[in-house]
Every structure is written in structure tokens, then in C-alpha cells.
Amino acid sequence: MLLKSSSGQIRVSTGTAAVLGLQKTKLNTEPTTAYLMTYFSGKCSANCAFCPQAQLSRSNIALLSRVSWPSFPEEAVLAGLNSSFRAKKIKRVCIQALNYPTFFIDLQKITQSIKDNCSIPVSVSCQPKSKQEIEYLKKCGVDILSIAVDAATEELFEKIKGKERGPEYSWKKMFSRLKEAVDVFGDGNVVTHLIVGLGESERDAVEMIQSCRDMGVLPALFAFTPIIGTTLEKKLPPKLEGYRRIQLARYLIVKSNLKAEDFRFNVKGEITSFGLLTKPLEKIIETGNPFRTSGCPDCNRPYYNEKPSGPIYNYPYNITKEEIEKIKKQL
């Protein structure tokens, strides 16, 4: 049964639209997750300094990060999702939601329509207002919930999306929601986003990653991407060398059960030791896995933070031997 949202439209990332057969677009790498977003004709009520959808942003409203999200009728999106899932082109759907008065109603209806018509796993990325909303998402069939903190420290959070940006978000409430989400969804089924390059040190990022894992939250890494029209449009992306070290640290904490206390840092907060002997560390690096897109299962998020021509921050495909050799030099 199709439960239409208030607009009857769903926004779809350009790459997803191509895979679902909604538009013709040449893709360097196809997404393995279908990225959807609730439709709203206005801007988000939040005012995050990096986001083109922010309340005071002058950016193209079609953008989220550097990706365009055209809208399509819900029936067409659901039909494309069904056929792409059956053809094993798409393995998961991730629904994003801006903050606006009816976002949760729209999110419920879209999620329920997908689950009523398809057995595809569903992730949702939003900012629930209560534990009751979190429980309702679980009841609707969502298996992974993402609540984006984005900043590695409270000080940065307040500058980028907290007190200095408006009343929408609170550092304390953000972590309360994450804890409530873990209570409902379970350890490892709650994700948060960490944007690297907002002004944090590598130590800050590693400590944030450790804090998330201690809570049962999976941290997904994003590289800061300057977008014209946002408050941070003139800020540079992070240096690739530092990003690679944070990627490797995240992998070791999440996959190899190392702790932040195992790492060593210099006076600038840069990682100087990963707490592993050389050979075991090299073996992990050789797989390329630490440097691939992180997040929900089957999320590859192609070129969300970079152009296909590079430099590539999060690899959306199996990394070649030549690329691994480049990564070793970057580390």
C-alpha cells in the first residue's frame, strides 16, 4: 500500500536516480544503497554552517553536500526501488530528512510504503525529537538509525551547528538521543556522522570515534566539502594525509578493538603511532578496507565528498593495488 507523504514527491540523489531508471546519467561508480530524501519546498529549519540546505544558506537548494537531489513522484521511485532491489543492483535504502514541521510524518509514510512493497533493508538519517519517535521508526521497519553529530568536539559543534547557529541543536540532547537510539535499535545499529576538516585535531577525531564506540554507536567518516553559498564556503577540505590517518584509526577502533589510549600523538594532535606492530598494521592497510566509505552496511556513497577525478577521500569501490601504494605514501 502506498502511503503518500504531504508532497507526493521524493528527492533522490543523482546516482540513485540513474540506477533506479528515473533519469539517464553516466556514472563512474554506481551506488549500492539507494539514497532518498523527504521532499520539502523550503529549507531546513536548522542552520548548519556547512550545509547547502541550511536556513541561511545561499546555496543551490537542489544540493546536499556536492550532490544534486532531483525530485520524482513516489510511485516512480518505489517502482524503481523494487526492480533495482530484485535485480540486486541496490542492497539497501537510506532515507534522509531535513528538519521541517511535517518531516516525521513524511518519513513514516515513505518508510512504511517501502516496507509494504519491498523487503529491502532501510536506514534512516534524521534528528528525532523524542524516544517515542525513535521507537516508532523501529516499529516501521527501520533497521539502522543515523543521528548526525558531525563535529568532533563540543566547542566545534556549538560554532558549526549548535548555539552559535540557532536553537535547533544541542550537544547534550544529541548524545541523549544517540543513547536512546542504542536502547531501541541495539549496539551497532545506530550511526553518527563525523565530518573531518571542521577544525578538529586528529586526537579530537580519534577520541570522538572512541566515545561513539563506547556508546554502541558506529561513527561514519565524511570529509568536509566546501559548498558555494554556505557559511564555510571558503574553508579548505582536510589534508588527505590527516584524513587517511583518521580513517585507519577509525577502522582499528571499530574493527580491531583497539582503543584511543593505544594511539600516540604529537604536540599538534597528529597520530604518530597506531598501537600495532608494523607487520599487522601493514596487513590491514594492504586490504584497503580502512579507506573505503564507512557507514551502514552496503553504503558506498559515491563521490559525496569529492569529484571522480579526485583526490578520493572515501573510496566507493574495491581499491586497486596501485591506489593502495598511493595511500601508503599519504599515511
User: What is the CA angle 165-52-32, rounded to 5?
Assistant: 120
* Residue 18 to residue 149: CA distance in whole angstroms: 30
CB atoms within 10 A of CB 298: 16
Question: Is the peptide bond between 311 and the residue preceding it cis, with omega within 30 degrees of 0?
Answer: yes
Give me the residue label for grid cell 539502522: 144
pLDDT at 59: 95
Retrieve residue 329's grid coordinates. Answer: 605514501
What phi and psi values does residue 268 have, to the nearest 5 degrees? Answer: -85, 0
Per-residue pLDDT band for 6 (boundaries 50, 70, 90) equals: low
Q: What is the pLDDT of residues 104-136, one digit of tens each?
A: 999 999 999 999 989 999 999 999 999 999 999
What 3-state class would DSSP assign to 158?
A: helix
Q: What is the pLDDT of residues 207-232, one digit of tens each?
A: 999 999 999 999 999 999 999 999 99
- Across 1-8, average pLDDT: 64
Are the C-beta atoms of 254 and 209 separated by less than 8 Å?
yes
Q: What is the pLDDT of residues 164-203, one digit of tens each?
A: 999 999 999 999 999 999 999 999 999 999 999 999 999 9
* Residue 174 to residue 129: CA distance in whole angstroms: 10
* Residue 20 to residue 82: CA distance in whole angstroms: 9
CATH number of 9-330: 3.20.20
pLDDT at 7: 76
Domain residue ranges in the chain: 9-330
* Residue 314 to residue 301: CA distance in whole angstroms: 8
* Residue 186 to residue 238: CA distance in whole angstroms: 32
Predicted TM-score (pTM) of the model is 0.96
Q: Does the pLDDT value for residue 249 go beyond 80? A: yes
Per-residue pLDDT band for 3 (boundaries 50, 70, 90) equals: low
Whole-angstrom Cα Rg for the chain: 19
Cβ neighbours of residue 11 closer than 8 Å, sequence gap 6 or more: 36, 37, 38, 39, 69, 70, 71, 72
Residue % of the chain over a pLDDT of 70 = 98
Give me the residue label for grid cell 574553508: 235
Give which of 308, 324, 218, 213 is closest to 258, Cα–Cα.
Answer: 213
Taking phi first (over 0 means left), then psi (-120 to 50 degrees means alpha), and beta for anything else, what does residue 21 get?
left
